[in-house]
Copies of this chain bind each other. A is one copy, B any other.
């Protein structure tokens, strides 16, 4: 591989010193117009691109950010990742991606690996211990998604409102016994959602919401949960997220249990696969694109304390009714 060209090459070509090249290209300091043109032209001809590592060494800023997610194949995180990447590009940052594969150890490892080569980190649905988060936060700028921690900036969707919308919908349909299919115990969102249920369920007349196990937050988890849901006698299932909902749907179909006639099923998030299935999955939509964008904005604000801060976006959730929920029928 050809050894890449440096400021010195450009300097030589333009007949100036390296410092002049630096100044001419950065534009921070005054350089004679004629000189600048000569430098710019030389740089263009040689195809010069500054070595960002070297620059970072001296300026102390890499213009890189890191994003840690539990599972890239989960469309929920794929959407967030996509919007983070897109917004970061617009803001002049490159992004390191790290998939912890739902594993706490891996997550921590990745965070450490990344923390030294980025200006800031976005942790999405982190499972790691609060103490570890705090430790890393002391060294690196950090924004949390779907988790809060004192003193740290975070972007969270309103879990309580999600739950309220979901319960309201099911209750309005006439359901009085609902099973909540829980996600990972360590998941902050899962905890928040269950807490919201315990708080909000009593506000509805005659509504009983039971919790069913803890399952992996994906299709397989839903499949595992389905039979337990059926056995619980509930007339509706509210899944931790859409993938779990889809897993339940699939398993029920296999068993010949009709949705929504025999059992209503709801997801949460409205990831883009929720529309693909039939019956379409009723769900509560989280504004994933906004979440990612907002996280980057917050992080950029954090990293450039001098700039004017962008106003925090609000993150509205919304009930999306499809075919997987209906009025409960009497069991035979």
Interchain nearest-CB distance for A209 vs B (Å) = 26
Does A79 have its Cβ within 8 Å of any Cβ on chain B?
A: yes
Per-residue interface assignment for chain A, residues 310 to 325, with 1 indicating a CB less than 8 Å from any chain B CB and 0 otherwise: 0000000000000000
Copy number in the complex reads 2
Known: A54-B57, A94-B117, A97-B97. A276 touches B72 (CB 8 A): no
Chain A residues 94 to 151 lying within 8 A of chain B, measured CB to CB, are 94-99, 101, 106, 110, 112-117, 138-141
Residues of B within 8 A of A141 (CB): 1
Question: Which one of B50, B53, B79 lies within 8 Å of A62 (CB-CB)?
Answer: B53
Does A277 have its Cβ within 8 Å of any Cβ on chain B?
A: yes
Residues of B within 8 A of A195 (CB): none
Interchain nearest-CB distance for A225 vs B (Å) = 15
A78–B74 CA distance with the chains assembled, in angstroms: 8
Give the interface size class of chain A: 35 or more
Docked-complex contact A139 and B1, CB < 8 angstroms = yes
Q: Which of A10-18, A31-39, A80-88, A226-234 contacts B (4 or more CB under 8 A)?
A: A80-88
**Among all A-B residue pairs, the 7 with the closest Cβ atoms:** A97-B97, A53-B53, A72-B82, A85-B99, A49-B116, A78-B78, A53-B56
A residues in contact (CB < 8 Å) with B: 1-2, 4, 49-54, 56-57, 62, 64, 67, 71-73, 75, 78-79, 81-82, 85-86, 89, 94-99, 101, 106, 110, 112-117, 138-141, 219, 246, 250, 253, 272-273, 275-278
